[in-house]
Amino acid sequence: MSDEINSLPNTTHGNQALLINQSENEATDLAVCVEGAWKNYGYWWKSMTALHDVTLHVPTGFIYGLLGPSGCGKTTLLRCLVGRLQLNRGEVTVLGQRPGARGHQVPGRDVGFMPQETALYKDFSISEMLHYFGHLHNMNRKDILSREKFLLSFLDLPSRTKKITQLSGGQQRRVSLACALLQQPQLLLLDEPTVGVDPLLREKIWSHLIHISKTSRTTIIITTHYIEEARKANRVGLMRSGRMLAEDEPTRLLAKYNQTSLENVFLNLCREDQNRVQQSPKNSIDKTDPTDNQDAPETPHSPVLDLTTGETPYSQIRRKELVKNPVLRARRAAVDCCICPQMHKIYASMVKDLTMIKRSIGFLIFQFFIPVVQISLFCLCIGRDPQHIPMALYNSEAVHGFPTGNLSLHLLNKINPNQIHFQSFNELNKAVDAVKEGHYWGVAVIRYNFSQAIKHKLISMKTDPATLNASSIHLHLDMTNQQVSFVMQNVILTSTQLFLKDILAEHKVDPALADPPVIIENPIYGAKVQNFLNFAAPGMMISIIFFLAIGLTALIFVVEKKEGLLERSWIAGVTTVEVMLAHIIVKFFIQFIQIILMIVFADVIFQVKIEGPVILAMALIFIQGICGMSYGLLISAMCEQEVEVMEVALGSVFPILLSSGVIWPAEGMPPIMRFLSNFTPLTHVVEAMRCIVSRAWTLVYFKVWFGFVISGAWTCGFFALAAILFALRK
Ligand SMILES: Nc1ncnc2c1ncn2[C@@H]1O[C@H](COP(=O)(O)OP(=O)(O)OP(=O)(O)O)[C@@H](O)[C@H]1O
C-alpha cells in the first residue's frame, strides 16, 4: 500500500476505500486513480514535460477511453500505470496499490497490457507466444490451451502454428491483443487495439470488452485515435499536450457542449484550452519543470475539477503532499527490488530462450564454432618460432672453393636450415644490398682466415684482437622485427656453441669449456623449453569466452529492448534478475559445450598442456563467461541500438585485452599501467588461469581463489549497475 497515501489525512484512498459519486449516484470503487501527475522526460535543458498535472479516475468494471492526438501523453500515462515510468510528481494507485509495490500484481498477472508496437517474438508461432505469456502468469497448460482456442476463434486468427512473421500487420496486432487478454486480468490497458482491424472485428472486440467489463468487472483503459468509437466507453478522458481537458461520461459531455459527436466536443475543448494557455501569464507551461515549482499555486486550468459535477473526493487530496520525495522513493524502489526470483517466470523465460535457439539452429552451431576457430587460429598463428628465415651469407673462406680443414663449413652445417635459410653471395656489397632491398633479414659474414683464427684461439689460446675478430661470425641484421632477429641471433649463438664443443673435442680438450658459467636446472614449474603459446593460451581461452558472452548478451537484450519485448515481459511481471537467470541457465549449456570444444582443441590438438585440474580451469572460464554476460547486460542497459552495442563492445575489447596482461606480461608495463591493470575484469582471472594451467595450482593457492572471487565480484558489479541503469532509464 502506498505509504504517502496512507499517511494523508482527510483522504480516503485505496481500492475499496476510495469512492466516487457517479452520475447515477452509485458508490463505485476506483480501480485506477491518478492524482496531480507530472512526468518529465530527459534532464536539465533537454527536459520536456509529457504530463501536466493529470488526474484520472477509473472505477472498477468501467471501460475508460483515453483520447487525444498523437503525442499528447496517452502512452506515457499508461506506462506510469503499469509501473514502467515513475512520476516526477503526483500519485498513482492501481487496484488499490502503487504499481510495482512489493507483492502487487501490477506489473504482473493482474494487468494485461497491449503496447502500441506489436512487441512479439517474430520467429515464434501464435501458440508459442501465448504459451510464453501463459507460463509467465503461472497458468497451467490446460487453461492456456482453452484460452488459446477461444482467443484464436474470437480474434479471427489463423492456425495456432503460424509464425508471427507470416502474419499481416493487423493479424499481429490481434495476436498482441490475445496476449493481453490471455490471463483474464483485472485491469486491461490497451494502446490502440483497433488499429488495422476491420470494422466488423472492431465491433466484436468492443462487444467483448463490454461483456468482460460487465460480467467479470474487468477494468479497461483503451487509447484510440478513432474518437467516435469511444462513445461505447463508460467514461472518457480527453487529453491534449499532456493535459487532461475533460473526464466524464460521453453522453454527459455531448449534452454539456450541446454536440452530436465527441470529435466536436474535443474541438471545443481544444479551443477553450488554447484560449486558456494564451491568456495564461506564464504561457510557457511546456518548458516548466514541475519539480522546480512545487510551491506554485494550482494552475488555473484544472479541467477535471471544472468539468466534472461539483466537488469530488479527490479535490480533498492536498496536492502538495503528493510531491516528489526522493528519499521515500529511493527507499520504496530498494524495497521493491528485493523480490525473490520466481521459478515459473524463470521457466517461462528459459522456454522462450530455448524456442529462440530452436528457431536458429544455424546460429547455434556457429556459436559452437566461433571459440574453436578462434583458439585454433591463435594456436596456429601465434607463439611459434619463425622458421625458414632467409639470410644472406658472405663466406670469404669459400669464395674460391672450400680448402681442406675449412671450419666455416663445419659451423654452417650446425645451423638448422629449417630455422635459417642461407643464400651465399660472392660479394659482400651485393649481400648487404639484398638485405637493404628487404629480401633477407641479415648478412652473416665469415672472414677468409676464420678456420685458422678459430684454431689459434681455441688450441693456442691466442686472444689478440685480430684473432678474436677473424674467429667470429659477423652479423649485419635487419632488426626491425624483434622476434625474427631474436631467433636469428639465438640460433646462430647455440649453433656456434655446439661447433666450438666439436672443435674442442677433436683436439682432446674438454668441450665443457665452451659452456657459459650458467647451469639451468630442472624448472620448478613449466618445461625447460618454453614457448609463448603456453604463456598466452590460458589468457586467450578466458578472453574468447568473455568477449563472446558480452557480444551475444548485449545484442540479444538490446534487440528485445528495442522491439518492446523486454518491456512487455517486465509488465507481465518478470524482473531483470529472472530474465538474467534464465539467460544464464540456457547459456550454461551452450557455454559448457563451447568450453569443452575449446579445451579439447587447445589441449589435445595444439598441445597446450593443462597441468592443473581441468575441471577447475573450466569452472574459471565458465564464471568469466557469466561475467561477460553481465557486462553485456550492462551494455544493453546503456545502449538503444545494435550499432551502439557494437561500438561499446568493440571499444572495450582492445583496452581490456591489452591492459590485462593477456598478450604481454604485466611486468613489461610502466608502473602506473601495471597498477591500473589490476582494475580490469580479466587481469586476475587470467593470472589464476595461468596458475592452474602451468603450475597445477588449485583453490588452496591465493592467486587461484582470488581470480574466482574477482570474477564473481565483477559479475555482481556489472549486474547491479545494469539493474540500476534499467531502472533509471525506464
Ligand atoms: N522516451 C522518451 N523520451 C523523451 N520524450 C518522450 C519519450 N517518450 C515519449 N516522449 C514524448 O512525450 C510526449 C508524449 O508521448 P506519448 O508517447 O505518451 O504520446 P501518445 O499520446 O501516446 O502518442 P501516440 O498516440 O502517437 O502514441 C511526446 O511529445 C513524445 O515525444
SS3 content of the chain, % helix, strand, coil (to 5): 55, 15, 30
Q: For residue range 98-144, list pLDDT tens digits in order.
A: 888 878 888 899 999 999 888 999 999 999 999 999 999 999 999 99
CA dist., res. 464 & res. 469, Å (int): 9
- Higher confidence at residue 15 or residue 416? 416
Instruction: Name the H helices within 155-219.
Output: 169-181, 199-215
d(CA 176, CA 571): 14
pLDDT in tens, 28-48: 588 999 998 999 888 777 788
Q: Which residues contact 185 (CB under 8 A, 6 or more apart)?
A: 109, 110, 111, 112, 218
Distance (Å) of CA 416 to CA 409, 420, 490: 13, 6, 12
Which of 668, 701, 672 is closest to 684 using CA atoms? 701
Q: What is the pLDDT of residue 30?
A: 86
Percent of all residues in the chain with a pLDDT value above 70, rounded to a whole number: 87
Whether 660 has a pLDDT exceeding 90, the answer reads yes
Per-residue pLDDT tens over the stretch 133-167: 999 999 999 999 999 999 999 888 899 999 999 99
For residue 245, report the distance from its CA to the centre of ligand 1, in Å.
Answer: 18
d(CA 259, CA 266): 10
ipTM above threshold 0.90: yes
Ligand 1 pocket: which of 39, 46, 48 to mutate (most atoms within 8 A of CB):
48
Phi, psi of 423 (to 5 degrees): -120, 120
Query: Which pLDDT score, from 0 to 100, does residue 526 have?
Result: 85
Torsion sign (Cα): 391, 396, 402, 404? negative
Q: Which residue has the higher pLDDT, 391 or 168?
A: 391
Q: CA-to-CA distance for 561 and 578, rounded, in angstroms?
A: 16
Residue 400 pLDDT level (bands cut at 50, 70, 90): low
* R_g (Cα) of the chain, nearest Å: 38
Ligand 1 center to residue 242 CA distance, Å?
A: 9
Domain 111-184, classified CATH 3.30.930.10, yes or no: no
Ligand 1 centroid to 77 CA: how many Å?
Answer: 10
Ligand 1 center to 687 CA (angstroms): 50
- The neighbouring-strand residues paired with 575 are none
Instruction: Say how far apart CA 635 and CA 552 lie, in whole Å.
Output: 11
Q: Which amino acid residue places its CA nearest to atom 28 of ligand 1?
A: 71
Q: Which amino acid is at 664?
A: W
| Least confident interval from 11-25, 280-294, 611-625 | 11-25
Query: At 241, is the secondary structure helix, strand, or coil?
Result: coil
Comparing 335-339, 368-372, 572-576, the range with the smallest average pLDDT is 335-339
Kindly give the number of the ligand 1 atom that is closest to the alpha carbon of 76.
Answer: 18
Neighbouring residues of 280: CB distance < 8 A, sequence distance ≥ 6: 300, 301
Task: Report the 10 Å Cβ neighbour count for 465.
Answer: 7
Instruction: Identify the pLDDT of residue 389.
Output: 95
pLDDT of 626 > 60? The answer is yes
| Model confidence pLDDT, tens digit, residues 487-535 | 999 999 999 999 999 888 888 888 888 888 888 888 898 888 778 888 8
Å from CA of 60 to ligand 1 middle:
27
- Identify the pLDDT of residue 336: 55
| Assigned C-alpha cell, 310 | 461539483
- Kindly state the cell numbers that stand for 169: 500487420
Atom of ligand 1 lying closest to residue 223 CA: 25
Q: How many CB atoms lie within 10 A of CB 535?
A: 19
Q: Which residue of 70, 76, 266 sits with most ligand 1 atoms within 8 Å of its CB, as the best mutation to test the pocket?
A: 76
Instruction: Please say whether the beta carbons of 105 and 268 come within 8 A.
Output: no
Nearest protein Cα to ligand 1, atom 24: 70
Show the cell assigned to 673: 599501467
Residue 303 pLDDT > 90: no
Asked if residue 291 has pLDDT above 80, the reply is no
**Using 50, 70 and 90 to split pLDDT, how confident is the model at 458?**
confident
- Tell me the pLDDT tens digit for each residue of 704-724: 999 999 999 999 999 999 988
**DSSP state string for 553-574:** HHHHHHHHHHTTHHHHHHHTT-
Asked if residue 651 has pLDDT above 80, the reply is: yes
Print the SS3 string covering 44-71.
HHHCEEEEEEEEEEEECCCEEEEECCCC
Look at residue 296 and tell me whether its pLDDT is greater than 50: no
Residues in the chain: 730
Top-confidence residue, 599 or 448: 599
Distance between CA atoms of residues 432 and 428, nearest Å: 6
At residue 404 the predicted structure's pLDDT band, cuts being 50, 70 and 90, is low
The domains spanning 3-108+188-338 and 111-184 adopt the same CATH topology? yes
Which CATH code of 3.40.190, 3.40.30, 3.40.720, 1.10.10 fits the domain covering 389-514?
Answer: 3.40.190
Look at residue 1 in the predicted model and tell me its pLDDT: 36
Q: Are strands 27-41 and 235-240 parallel, antiparallel or unpaired?
A: unpaired
Residue 124's pLDDT is 94
Cα–Cα distance, 477 to 504 (Å, whole number):
29
Query: 44 versus 699: which is more confidently predicted?
Result: 699
CA separation for the pair 30, 60 (Å, rounded): 5
Å from CA of 546 to ligand 1 middle: 38
Q: Of all helices (H) and strands (E), which one includes residue 35? A: strand 27-41
Rounded to whole angstroms, how far apart are CA atoms 509 and 493? 21
pLDDT surpasses 90 at 216:
no
Read off the pLDDT of residues 322-337 as tens digits, 9 standing for 90 and up: 444 556 666 665 655 5
| Dist. CA 443–CA 446, nearest whole Å | 10
Dihedral sign of CA atoms 130, 132, 137, 143 in order: positive
Ligand 1 atom 17: the closest Cα is on which residue?
Answer: 75
Distance CA 730, CA 106 (A): 16
At 291, the amino acid letter reads: T
Q: 213-233 b/e with 16+ CB inside 10 Å = b?
A: beeeebbbbbbbeebebbebb
Nearest CA among 226, 214, 223 for reference residue 180 = 223
Indicate the pairing of strand 219-224 with strand 63-67: parallel
The whole-number pLDDT of residue 624 equals 96
Question: Quick check: 304 pLDDT over 70?
Answer: no
Averaged over 343-349, what is the pLDDT? 93
Backbone angles phi, psi at 717, to 5 degrees: -60, -50
Residue 338 has pLDDT above 70, yes or no: no
CA 242 to chain centre: 33
- Rounded distance, CA 670 to CA 259, Å? 81
Is the model more confident about 14 or about 248? Answer: 248
Pocket, ligand 1, Cβ cutoff 6 A: 41-42, 48, 50, 68, 70-76, 116
Report the distance separating Cα 12 and Cα 678, nearest Å: 57
DSSP state of 125: B
Fold of 3-108+188-338: Rossmann fold (3.40.50)
Contact 505, 511 (CB under 8 A): yes
Residue nearest to atom 3 of ligand 1 (CA): 41
Torsion on CA atoms 342, 345, 349, 350, rounded to nearest 10: 60
Ramachandran assignment for 641, one of left (phi > 0), alpha (psi -120 to 50 degrees), beta (any other) = beta
pLDDT at 3: 40
Task: Render pLDDT for 69-99 as a digit per residue (tens, 0 to 9).
Answer: 888 899 999 999 998 888 888 889 999 888 8
d(CA 497, CA 513): 10
Phi, psi of 52, deg, nearest 5 = -115, 105
Note the pLDDT of residue 627. 95
Among 557, 529, 523, 555, smallest CA distance to 650 is for 555
> What pLDDT is stored for residue 330 in this prediction?
61
- With both helix axes pointing from N to C terminus, report the angle between 702-728 and 683-695 in degrees, rounded to the nearest 10: 150
Q: Which of 515, 565, 727 is nearest to 164 (CA)?
A: 565
Ligand 1 atom index nearest CA of 77: 18
Roughly what angle, to the nearest 10 degrees, separates helices 532-562 and 361-381? 150
Q: Is 521 exposed, middle or buried (0-12, 13-18, 19+ CB in 10 A)?
A: exposed
The ranges assigned to domains in the chain are: 3-108+188-338, 111-184, 346-381+531-728, 389-514
- Rounded to the nearest integer, the mean pLDDT of the chain is 84
Quote the ligand 1 centre to 73 CA distance (angstroms).
6
Q: Residue 21 in 3-state DSSP? A: strand
CA 204–ligand 1 middle distance (angstroms): 29
Per-residue pLDDT band at 544 (split at 50, 70, 90):
very high
